[in-house]
Amino acid sequence: MPDVRPSEEEIARLNAELDGLRGACETPMRCKLCRTRTKFVFGEGSPTARLMFVGEGPGEQEDLSGRPFVGPAGQLLDKVLQSVGITREEVYITNVVKCRPPGNRTPTDEEMAECGPILMEQIRILKPRLIGALGNVAKNFFLGKTAPGITRCMGQFFPWKDGIELQALYHPSFLLRNQQRTVGSPKWQMWQAMKELKRRYDMMRTGEAAPESPGSKGQLSLF
Domain boundaries, the chain: 8-222
Q: Are 141 and 116 in contact (CB under 8 A)?
A: yes
**Mean per-residue pLDDT of the chain:** 91
DSSP 160: -
Its pTM stands at 0.93
* pLDDT greater than 60 at residue 126: yes
pLDDT of residue 222: 57
Instruction: Write 185-192 long-range contacts (CB < 8 A, 24+).
Output: 187/220, 187/223, 188/220, 189/154, 189/155, 190/80, 190/154, 190/223, 191/80, 191/83, 191/84, 191/219, 191/220, 191/223, 192/155
pLDDT of residue 53: 98
- Give the confidence band of 218 by pLDDT, cuts at 50, 70, 90: low
* pLDDT greater than 60 at residue 27: yes
DSSP 92: E
* pLDDT greater than 70 at residue 210: no
What's the CATH fold of domain 8-222? Answer: Uracil-DNA Glycosylase, subunit E (3.40.470)
Q: Which of 128, 45, 143, 60 is nearest to 94 (CA)?
A: 45
pLDDT of residue 196: 97
Per-residue pLDDT reduced to its tens digit, 34-78? 888 999 999 999 999 999 999 999 999 999 999 999 999 999 999
pLDDT of residue 5: 78
